Amino acid sequence: MLAGKLRFSIIFLVVGLFIGLTVGYSFGSQTQLVWKEKYFELQKTYGKLEESYKNLNLAYSNLKSQMAGWKEKYVRLQEAYKNLNLSYLNLKNLTTVRIELLEDKEYYPEACRLISHANKSIQIIMYVVKYDSKHEKDPVNVLLKGLVEAKKRGVEVKVLVDDVTLKSYPQTIKFLSENKIPVRLDPSRWVTTHTKMVIVDGKYLLVGSHNWTESALTRNHEVTVKIYSEKFAGEALKYFDSLWDYGRKVLG
Q: What is the CATH architecture assignment of 98-249?
A: 2-Layer Sandwich (3.30)
Q: How confident is the model at residue 52 (pLDDT cuts 50, 70, 90)?
A: confident
Three-state secondary structure call for residue 140: helix
pLDDT score, position 13? 56
204-213 average pLDDT score: 98
Higher-confidence position of 244 and 136: 244
Distances from the Cα of 2 to the Cα of 8, 12, 13, 56, 89, angstroms: 10, 15, 17, 80, 125
What would the mean pLDDT of 8-13 be, rounded to a whole number?
57
CA angle 239, 178, 185 (to 5 degrees): 30
93: confidence class by pLDDT, cuts 50, 70, 90: low
Domain map (residue ranges) of the chain: 1-95, 98-249
Helix (H) or strand (E) holding 39: helix 2-95
**C-alpha to C-alpha distance for 74 and 67, rounded to whole angstroms:** 10
**Is the pTM for the entire model greater than 0.75?**
no
* pLDDT confidence bin for 162, thresholds 50/70/90: very high
d(CA 69, CA 94): 37
Least confident of 54-58, 139-143, 147-151: 54-58
Please report the pLDDT score of residue 21 as a whole number: 52
Contact between residue 229 and residue 97 where contact means Cβ atoms under 8 Å apart: yes
Q: Phi-psi bin for 207: left (phi > 0), alpha (psi -120 to 50), beta? A: beta
What's the rounded Cα separation, in Å, for the pair 89 and 166? Answer: 42
